[in-house]
Amino acid sequence: MIIFKKAKPLTAYLLNLKKENKKIGFVPTMGALHEGHLSLLREASKNNDYTICSIFVNPTQFNNPEDFKHYPKTIEKDIEQLVLSGCKILFLPHLTEIYHRGYQKKHYNLGPIENILEGFYRPGHFQGVSEVVDRLMQIVSPHNLYLGQKDFQQCMVIKKLMELTGRENEIQLVVVPTLREKNGLAMSSRNLRLDQNEKELATSIYNELMAIKNRLTSSPFEQLKKTAVLNLENIGFQVDYFEIANRETLATANTPNEPLVALVAATLGKVRLIDNLILN
Ligand code: AMP
């Protein structure tokens, strides 16, 4: 695996590969890699000649400085896992490679999805995500971009970003299903910050999502959401939202006659977790 720390040589290297008609698949991450990330990398390796992973903990998408400060870092282990997974290129930039001198901050008109759910509880988060993904697309410009369904709203934001930046025909988005632990807990770098007891309690998020899926037609949605929130609160979660939404717009839904997704964000101890489940 080749590790690039600088943007320009990486762009030049990839340009040469593209001239040789090689397909490039890209998996952007913030490191602390787990099987979920590796499933994206495997998917990329199946359908591209070269797979590139980036590891960059982007400060501009953290609205909470404590979350940024404590974001797990396991770079040596990450590199080992990448080599084992067959990843050919790692981009490991310093902050100044992404936000270089003279870098002009942009504003992205992401529309209504920017300020609901994650956007409401993490003001500025999706501007930060858009900023870093826009920069990474300038540098890497892959044929295929791999994203996890685990960050459902983020996938929608990045789709919108591709339209806004005129890349929607150039770069194919591939959304990979959420990889879970055997007990249902969605894999996440932030799980490293949970102790054993919290890890077991955290499975309740998935259990509540499944309960909603199984009872979708048996109770009004307001009732289903209220029960899920109460159950999580009773075991010590602080719930930001538990929403049943239209899968295409993320607007609150009230009937099962539309494509639905349930989305949840809840904090246990000091760790904020998100998850979602397609309902129909
Ligand atoms: P992160 O390092 O958290 O920014 O995640 C990098 C990419 O991996 C994003 O596209 C995530 O949605 C994806 N991802 C994170 N967790 C999982 C998971 N459990 N299953 C599948 N993809 C995931």
**pLDDT tens digit sequence for 60-108:** 999 999 999 999 999 999 999 999 998 999 999 999 999 999 999 999 9
pLDDT of residue 209: 98
How far apart, in whole angstroms, are the C-alpha atoms of residue 132 and residue 57?
A: 10
pLDDT of residue 239: 98
pLDDT of residue 110: 98
Give the atom of ligand 1 at the shortest distance from the alpha carbon of 146. 10
**Best of 150, 154, 175, 271 for a ligand 1 pocket test (most atoms within 8 Å of beta carbon):** 150
If we measure between CA atoms, which residue out of 68, 198, 192 comes closest to residue 122?
68
pLDDT of residue 71: 96
Determine the distance separating the centroid of ligand 1 and the alpha carbon of 139, expressed in angstroms: 21
pLDDT of residue 74: 97
Q: Answer whether 129's CB lies under 8 Å from 119's CB.
A: no
How far apart, in whole angstroms, are the C-alpha atoms of residue 106 and residue 103?
A: 9
Could you count the other beta carbons within 10 Å of the beta carbon of residue 73?
15
Q: Can you name the residues that pair with 145 across neighbouring β-strands?
A: 26, 173
**Best of 33, 35, 37 for a ligand 1 pocket test (most atoms within 8 Å of beta carbon):** 37
If we measure between CA atoms, which residue out of 64, 53, 51 comes closest to residue 30?
53
How far apart, in whole angstroms, are the C-alpha atoms of residue 262 and residue 91?
A: 34
Catalytic residue among 37, 100, 107, 125: 37
Q: Can you name the residues that pair with 278 across neighbouring β-strands?
A: 261
Low-confidence ranges of the chain (pLDDT < 50): none
125 is catalytic: no
Task: Give nearest CA residue, ligand 1 atom 14.
Answer: 148
pLDDT of residue 224: 98
Pocket residues: Cβ below 6 A from ligand 1 = 29-30, 36-37, 39-40, 147-148, 150-151, 176, 178-179, 186-189
pLDDT of residue 79: 98
Please give the model's pTM, rounded to 2 decimal places. Answer: 0.98
Task: Give nearest CA residue, ligand 1 atom 17.
Answer: 36
Q: Answer whether 24's CB lies under 8 Å from 2's CB.
A: no
pLDDT of residue 210: 98
Q: Can you name the residues that pair with 238 across neighbouring β-strands?
A: 267
